Amino acid sequence: MKRFVRNCLGFVLLIPGALLPEFQARAQNFTNLHAFTGGSDGANPWGALVLSHNALYGTAYTGGSYQGGLLYAVNTDGSGFTNVHDFTTGDDGANPHDGVIVSGNTLYGTATAGGTLGNGNIYSVNSDGSNFKTIYSFSGATDGATPWGGLVLSGSTLYGTAKTGGGSGLGTVFRINIDGSGFTNLHTFTGGDGANPVARLLLSGSTLYGTTQQGGATGNGTLFSLNTNGTGFTNFHHFSTTTGPALVNTDGASPQGPLFLAGNTLYGTASSGGMFGFGTVFSLNTDGSGFNTIHSFSPTSGANQANQDGGFPIGGVILSDDTLYATAQVGGSGGAGTVFSVKTNGNSFFPLYNFSPIPAFNTPNSDGAYPLASLVLFGSTLYGTANSGGPSGYGSVFGVTVPAGPPELTITTAGRNVILTWSTNITGFTLQSTTNLDSASFWSPVSPAPAAVNGLYTVTNPISGTQQFYRLSQ
């Protein structure tokens, strides 16, 4: 990132700039941990990973020995890929869409199809693949059907959503004990309050927060909350009407990813809508106030449908300090999706990785294509899945290293001087200045050399009659 300061007769202005090409190249530290072959190891991973010790657990939507998908484990260094459970498309379920959760040595998850009645199920299995149990099979009636999202666990109670079924056929919110007893339909969607919940719920205290892909006041989806006992259902945001051929609006449409809570602020993604119709990253308070569109994804163009940032984000966001991390399903320089970061205030959007293009779905490339799920951050590495592409064409498990920096340049004034500071924790950057920002501008190092004061590099320059623009360059 570049940050510029205009210095002219005491007037100081901070202007966000473009990405530093050198930093962008350094940031793309990509590791392919596993390439799915479409055979016994599965194909087309869709759901989010979960980390337990040094093992990542996830699901493949199809493939496996019975072509019903599978549950797998792989170490964070890419070794030890293990098929934990092969779904048979029978009583044990089929086509797991979201990932699993871990409690001790037990994994809990959902399958969108199969089960005793063919409408999907809830299951548990030990992390070594033993003791698989179908906890509950959906009937497709009042309890729901097609559980698309994963589960959350509190004590001995699991909470989740069914995409369809229920009294109106538009999905439900449910709870069930881990032993399969006590199934309760907490809420049945009717359309006006939302329809087709496809994301994992968020649990905070005794309140569940979630998203619906459709329904609501405009049909473009909702954000909702309710108590764990089923009372207090509230739609705290209805996504606005989309207009024009590009289906644009201000806030987004069709949220499909889970929400992330920090304090009283919720963060999420909408898979479409926004300023250009390619989706948004948003935030709002838990009471529905203060909605803010953090980022609207730009249009794609060309044969590869490429752009600078990505588009149609399906997964949710995760937060570390003041930075959000997520994936975009398409777009980026290769048109096959991105891993990105953006500050919670909307500044400093950065494509951490651009997936390479593929000519068609399930065709090979070097890294993967079309990431659909939320990420997991462990240390300085983001772990995720790509739904297609990879050396065999059937998707991949990957890691992307989060780069340190870039440092943020801070500017203050003291009398007739401008004081520029940045952190000493990140090295290798030089303070430069220029008198104009046209394409032929010449950037020169700023003197005097910076002094390290209280953990900050500090440079003090007099304010003169000639305007100056400053940047940190690597």
pTM for this prediction? 0.83
Last residue of a domain, one of 345, 372, 401: 401
Phi–psi pair at 347, nearest 5 degrees: -80, 165
Query: Is there a single domain that holds both residue 465 and residue 414?
Result: yes
* Residues 14 and 48 occupy one common structural domain: no
Q: Give all strands (DSSP E) within 403-455, no chain letters.
A: 410-414, 417-423, 430-434, 444-445, 451-453
Final residue of a domain: which of 401, 420, 438?
401
d(CA 91, CA 109): 14
- Per-position pLDDT tens, the chain of length 474: 333 433 332 333 333 333 333 333 333 489 999 999 999 999 999 999 999 999 999 999 999 999 999 999 999 999 999 999 999 999 999 999 999 999 999 999 999 999 999 999 999 999 999 999 999 999 999 999 999 999 999 999 999 999 999 999 999 999 999 999 999 999 999 999 999 999 999 999 999 999 999 999 999 999 999 999 999 999 999 999 999 999 999 999 999 999 999 999 999 999 999 999 999 999 999 999 999 999 999 999 988 899 999 999 999 999 999 999 999 999 999 999 999 999 999 988 989 999 999 999 999 999 999 999 999 999 999 999 999 999 999 999 999 999 776 677 888 888 888 888 887 766 667 888 888 876 556 888 888 888 888 778 888 888 876 778 888 876
Tokens linked to 110? 């959902």
Q: Which tokens hold the place of 188? A: 């049945």
Do 315 and 368 lie in one domain? The reply is yes
**Are both 462 and 322 inside the same structural domain?**
no
Residue 157 CA to residue 221 CA, distance in Å, equals 27
What is the rounded CA–CA span in Å between residue 220 and residue 216?
A: 7
Give the domain extent around 322.
22-401
Report which of 256, 300, 257, 303 is spatially closest to residue 278, judged by C-alpha positions: 300
Residue 391 CB coordination number (10 Å): 15
Same domain, 232 and 150: yes
Pairing mode, strands 318-320 and 323-328: antiparallel
Residues 236 and 345 in one domain: yes
Return the pLDDT at 19.
31
Report the 10 Å Cβ neighbour count for 65. 14
**In the Cβ-directed half-sphere of 234, how many Cα atoms lie within 13 Å?**
13
d(CA 11, CA 264): 36
Do 379 and 431 have their domain in common? no
> Of 385, 401, 417, which closes a domain?
401
Do 306 and 435 belong together in one domain? no
Whether 253 and 292 share a structural domain = yes
Dihedral angle computed from the Cα positions of residues 76, 380, 21 and 300, in that order, rounded to the nearest 10 degrees? 60
Which one, of 460, 459, 448, 407, lies nearest residue 2 by Cα?
Answer: 407
Q: Which of 50, 47, 61 is CA-nearest to residue 107?
A: 50
Three-state SS annotation for 145-172: ECCCCCCEEECCEEEEEECEECCCCECE
Contact between 372 and 314 under an 8 Å Cβ cutoff? The reply is yes
Which spans in 344-428 are helix H?
none
Q: Is the domain of 28 the same as that of 52?
A: yes
What's the structural domain count of the chain? 2
CATH number of the domain that 457 lies in? 2.60.40
According to DSSP, the β-strands at 184-188 and 202-204 are unpaired
The count of other CB atoms within 10 Å of the CB of residue 72 is: 24
Q: Are residues 444 and 370 in the same domain?
A: no
Both structure tokens of 270: 């909408």
CATH number at residue 393: 2.120.10.60
Separation between Cα atoms, residue 419 and residue 466, nearest integer Å: 16
* 348 and 442, same domain (yes or no): no
Q: Answer for the pair 112, 96: CB distance below 8 angstroms, yes or no.
A: yes
Q: Which helix or strand (DSSP H or E) is residue 437 part of? A: none
